[in-house]
Amino acid sequence: MRERGGGRIINLASIGGLVVDGERSSVYGASKAAVVQVTKNMAYEWGRYGIRVNAIAPGYMRTAMTTDLLPDRAEEDRLVATHIPLGRIGEPGDLAGA
């Protein structure tokens, strides 16, 4: 990228890397916080070469990994009411194009 005069890197983080997200999330949260921090450092170090480094950090998404977080409609409604201003759980297609 440096030789070409620039480029773009987009990392996939998570809201879990920015906030404490309940029990049993420490390892996941720490790994996503590392993605957030390495993105900041890379942006700082490589920006002078025209290399833009950013991350997207989605919130709750309906995936196989989150099945245990959303065991029933009542729990999903609670999460939405307390954490999600959009008013719904994200769908993988919501990230298309990002």
Show the tokens assigned to 65. Answer: 């990994």
Among 28, 44, 49, 60, the active-site one is: 28
In contact, 71 and 42? CB cutoff 8 Å: no
44 is catalytic: no
What is d(CA 78, CA 81) in angstroms, rounded to the nearest whole number?
Answer: 5
One-letter amino acid at 18 equals L
Segment (H or E) for 12? strand 7-12
Helix (H, G, I), strand (E, B) or coil at 79: helix
Task: Please identify every residue annotated as catalytic.
Answer: 28
